[in-house]
Structure 1
Amino acid sequence: MTRRLAVIAAGALALALVPTAGATSLPDRTFRVSTAPDMSQLSGDSGDTSLSADGQIIGFASTASGFMPGDANGSVRDVFTFNVATGERRLISAAPGGANGPSSSPVLSADGARVAFVSSASNLVAGDHNGVADVFLTGPDGTVSRVSVAADGGDANGPSSNPDLSADGRFVVFESAASNLVAGDTNGAPDVFLRDLQTGTTSLVSAAPGGGPGNGASGAPSISAGGAFVSFASKASNLVAGDTNGVSDVFVRDLVLAKTSRVSVDSHGRQQNRAVADPFQQISGISRDGRFVVFDSDATNLVGADANQHTDVFLRDRRRHTTVLVSASSLNVQGNNDSFSPLISADGRIVAFQSLATNMAPGDGPREDVFVRDLEQRTTSVVGVADDGSPRAAELVPQLLQRPALSADGRIAAFSSTAPNLVAGDTNAREDVFLRLLDAPQTSLVGKRIGRRPTVELKADDPAATSFVCRLDNGPLFACGPGRTRLPAGHRVLRVRAGGPGMLYDPKTLVVRLSSEHRPPRVAIAGFGRGPLRTIRGIASDPSGVARVLVAVTYYHGHGCRALSGHRFVPVRCPVRLFQRASGRRFWSLRLPHAIRGPVVVYARAVDGAGNRSRVRLRKAIIR
């Protein structure tokens, strides 16, 4: 098959996707990919996104005929790729005169050169006479080959779907209802298969101990980047011992050891009490090394305190044998609606998923949205936002269900939307494909004031970073910043990460040490000396520094007391203390408006930089 492609300049897209040191160098974050070569809008719907490892090549399916020259089948759904760095556009589901059936579900190799996809077309390869959907692969030179073939190389006798591809493009896993792909497939149900394109062989992945097929339907596979592990969902009860819950589960097949383990269990190995409601399948994703598996489930017993009664996303650590909740906010609040269709970045750090929850992250648009969870930082951000970070407008369809795509490092996401406000000039009222750059902002401290109620002023290098997450000592997470934030008193260490809609949270924690010590300062009043009293002096000290000294002066004159108030003495009823601020701090003084004689009482109190106050000291004397 001849390769069909066109090369179009990518301009701003190519520049913007270069990794950056800080968010301030990102003038644009959201880009529409599904446009014509002249950047005009398409007249068809586009979706089914997939990304190369570096996020530079995006694959998607579209009913539009204007994405590139050579798309001869009109509004029939085709699979394309677009290289945002070079502008190269490829028609993946290419056939002479155009494919005669719809194509979908593209998945890319790490370099984006190989693309597996599903198609009902019968003219992509010679000899395709089965009349059902098959899985195909298009290579770097544009050659299309069929992956879902019978053991003898002929037609599969059932439809195939849901492909996934290893990083090097050698292994393709897929789901198929065909019974003639491998010998001994007699269960009459869909199974998961692996095609080794190097050896030209197909093997059964959803196999029971002994190598036979499972006794229930299996599907929705995901293969690790290295090609050694496959996760999948299955209703079979004979894939592992002790599977007695009577519901579908998520499994991992070690292709090297030919062993299957169940991952939809809690941290003690107990099986889940629910799967997901029919007709949906549990969706899973697996990290590059096979250690981490994400999946969705209606189960209420996989983690403690799962009380939301909704579909959630979970992560299974196969090395530590632990299961944790993923679909939670940055404040670790469980989602208040269904979360589903997860995938995990190759490095195992970022999980993307779709959710109907309204409490998952600030900046969430109406109804369903795409989110990313940083597993290391335990922070969650919404992906589908406008270029300036404002919330996505309502979708133009009742419910746009999708599985987003991620680059290997999780910093670039691809998704589809019918919202008209994600980029300027979106007026086609169609489902379009978008890229969002999720580069995290950098957090910085503008200033701090130490006292009984410490105050910090925080900022980020991206003005759209409006959602900061803070923690005092080892206390609970709370929302803070940007700007000034007052904190409780005490010995505190404040840890801060800046984030916001459409971006990851700062991976580097800003640590602010708040040295709010509580030892009171010391103050002393010097002797008055001889003669009329005009100036009062003293000393004060404190390790954190003396902020101010307050002095009160009262003396007996004639038939009553007089107290210093501002710049004069006023009659008062004894005993009264009217404190005035003295000059100086460590060595302080207070000059009286005039000299005084007679019985005098002087009071002094010091206040340190942390707001602590000393005990009131006094000195009495009779001035002659």
Structure 2
Amino acid sequence: MKANTHTNRGTTRRLRTALGSAVAVCAVATALPGVARAESADVGVRASGIERVSVATDGAQSDGSSTDASITPDGSRIVFSSTATNLGDTPTTAADRVHLRDRRTGETRRIGGEAPLHPPTISADGGYVGYPVGWMQSDLIRLHQVRTGNTIGHNCMAHNCEMSLGAEGLQLAYSRRFRPPEPNQRITVLDWRSNKSYTIDVIHNTAPSKPSLSDNGGFLAYQDGEEQDVFVWDRSNGTPAGPIEGPAKAATLVQLSDDGSKVVYLSGSDTHVHDTRSGTARTVPNVRGVAIDPTGRYLLYAPHEAGGPALVLRDLESGTDETVSNRPASAGIDAVSAGGRAVVFHSTADDLVPGDTNGTSDLFVRSFR
């Protein structure tokens, strides 16, 4: 089934269907053996603690730089990229590799042996890890099953593939940009369970962007980079709705919440959170939205002003803010667990937890309770 994108800014269609309510899942909050952890009671509205997670299973700190993390909705598993040689079961050469940290068991393992072209992502149930790698004349998506160690390979048939996973990992969305002189970008939604795929052609798009898939694979947010429009595709009828930001704005997609209720996008110096149920948007001024939690309630953002916190978590219902990091820090999408109970980020700061002496970028989790 193929759907063509509308690139006329004067045409706006609102979503007609909403997903069901999200399930709030508690994040793991207990300290793990061998993990350096710091506590604070005055960081935000809730008491919080911070732990370093880019460590080996025995607690040894990483000998390389770790970035690009994705956390499961329950906060139990984190997948990330690292140049470390000492985080897997056996030593390896210093090169960018995918790693999985299980916060319940304290185990850190290396996933596969290839360098990811884009940040890895983990399915909502924690069962699958996906990432694209270079392969011959095109990119190949690796889908790794955590329990068995088996890997599925899917050929993108093009370069510049960026991907998003559904809840069970077997729903996959990826974008690919064709070689010149073909200017188009194509987004494919693949469901391995039903052996069906759906494609969306983004016409005359010279700026590929990562799509964002809801947990059940029913909704997909994506961007027409050339037109700077954000659309939401409804699988039930195979049509895109949008541009959701209206005809007068240029927008950059950040993320669709796992439950499909919110779409975060940037426009100008502000962040906007579009409610797919009501068709309205809330503006969070003068900040850069980074990620949204699976329920669509908690927004992670970076303030534009210098001298304040690097990362802040906002409760969109109460309007309250909680500081994630006062030190220089960065995060990607899928950085917030359900209910805003855990936020994963990376930082080169050496005073976030005791004993940080490796002098490189580490991954940390701020837990709220």
Tell me which residue corresponds to 1:170. Answer: 170
What letter corresponds to residue 12 of structure 1 in structure 2? A
Q: Does 1:50 align with 2:67?
A: no
Secondary structure at the counterpart of residue 223 of structure 2: strand
Task: Show the counterpart of 1:88.
Answer: 107
Q: What is the deviation of 1:14?
A: 7.7
Q: 1:235: Cα distance to partner? A: 3.5
Counterpart of 1:322 in structure 2 is 280
1:374 correspondence with 2:315: yes
The within-5 A match list for 1:499-514 is: none
Identify if the C-alpha distance between structure 1 residues 68 and 11 changes in structure 2 by more than 3 Å, giving closer, same or farther. Answer: farther
Alignment of 1:564-579 (within 5 A): none
Contact 1:51–1:406 (CA<8 Å) still a contact in 2? yes
What is the match of residue 138 of structure 1? 144
Preserved contact between residue 162 and residue 211 of structure 2 (Cα < 8 Å): yes
Paired with 1:53 and 1:431, the residues of 2 have a C-alpha distance of 24
Local SS of the residue matching 1:406: coil
Q: Which amino acid aligns with 1:115?
A: V
Q: CA deviation at 1:319?
A: 1.9
Q: Work out whether 1:231 is the aligned partner of 2:221.
A: yes
Higher relative contact order (CA 8 A, sep 6+): 2
Deviations 1:421-466 (A, max 9, x none): 1111112121111111022xxxxxxxxxxxxxxxxxxxxxxxxxxx
Contact 1:61 1:103 in 2 (8 A): no
Specify whether residues 56 and 171 from structure 1 end up closer, same or farther in structure 2 by C-alpha distance, changes over 3 A only: same
TM-score calculated relative to the size of structure 1: 0.49
Partner of residue 111, structure 1: 125
Q: Which residue of 1 aligns with 2:55?
A: 35
Which residues in structure 2 correspond to 1:210-609 (within 5 Å)? 213-217=202-206, 218-235=208-225, 247-265=227-245, 270-275=246-251, 282-298=252-268, 311-326=269-284, 334-335=285-286, 339-340=288-289, 342-358=290-306, 364-365=308-309, 369-384=310-325, 391-392=326-327, 394=328, 402-403=332-333, 405-439=335-369
Supply the distance in 2 between the matched residues of 1:104 and 1:90 (Cα, whole angstroms).
19
Task: After superposing the two structures, state which structure 1 stretch, 214-223 or 62-71, moved more.
Answer: 214-223
Q: Sort the Cα spacing of 1:30 and 1:188 in 2 relative to 1 into closer, same or farther, 3 A.
A: same
Identify which of 201, 204, 210 aligns with 2:199: 204
Aligned-residue sequence identity (percent) comes to 27
**Structure-2 separation of matches of 1:27 and 1:113:** 30
Aligned partners of 1:15, 1:165: CA distance in 2, in Å? 31
Match of 2:189 among 168, 186, 194: 194
User: C-alpha offsets along residues 500-536 of structure 1, whole Å, 9 cap, x if unaligned?
Assistant: xxxxxxxxxxxxxxxxxxxxxxxxxxxxxxxxxxxxx
| Distance (Å, rounded) in 2 between the aligned partners of 1:409 and 1:255 | 26
Q: Secondary structure at the match of 1:409?
A: helix
Counterpart Cα distance in 2 of 1:173 and 1:404? 15
1:28 shift after superposition: 6.7
Partner-residue secondary structure (3-state), 2:120: strand
Give 3-state SS (helix, strand or coil) of 2:211's partner: strand
SS at match of 1:219: coil
Cα deviation, residue 264, structure 1: 3.8
| AA at the equivalent of 1:353 | Y
Q: Deviations over 1:336-369 (max 9, x none)?
A: xx514x322121211113333348xxxx34xxx2
Structure 2 match to 1:129:
136
After superposition, the Cα gap between the structure-2 partners of 1:89 and 1:427, relative to the gap in structure 1 and judged at 3 Å, is closer
Return the alpha-carbon distance in structure 2 between the equivalents of residues 435 and 102 of structure 1: 22
What TM-score comes out, normalization by structure 2 length? 0.80
Deviation at 1:201, TM superposition (A): 4.2
1:70 is displaced (CA, Å) by: 2.7
Residues 232 and 252, structure 1, Cα contact 8 Å, conserved in 2:
yes
Cα distance change, pair 230–14 in 1 and its aligned pair in 2 (3 A)? farther
Residue 297 of structure 1: how far off its partner (Å): 1.6
Letter in 1 for 2:94: S
Give the length in aligned residue pairs.
331
Note the alpha carbon deviations across 1:306-331, whole angstroms, 9 max, x for none.
xxxxx2210111221211113xxxxx
> 2:339 is paired with a residue of what secondary structure?
coil
Distance 1:38 1:27, change over 3 A: farther
Corresponding letter in the other structure for 1:344: I
**Aligned residue number for residue 457 of structure 1:** none
The Cα shift of 1:33 comes to 0.5
Q: Distance in 1 between matches of 2:319 and 2:354?
A: 32
CA distance in 1, matches of 2:110, 2:296: 31
Cα distance change of structure 1 residues 401 and 51 upon mapping to structure 2, 3 Å threshold: closer
2:275 alignment partner AA? D
Asked if structure 2 preserves the Cα contact closer than 8 Å seen for 1:134 and 1:160, the reply is: no
**CA-based RMSD:** 2.9
Q: Does residue 77 of the first structure (1) align with residue 96 of the second (2)?
A: yes
Going from structure 1 to structure 2, the CA distance change for 1:148 and 1:71 (only over 3 Å counts) comes to farther
Asked if structure 1 preserves the Cα contact closer than 8 Å seen for 2:78 and 2:102, the reply is yes
Deviations 1:197-217 (A, max 9, x none): 224444313x4xxxxx52324
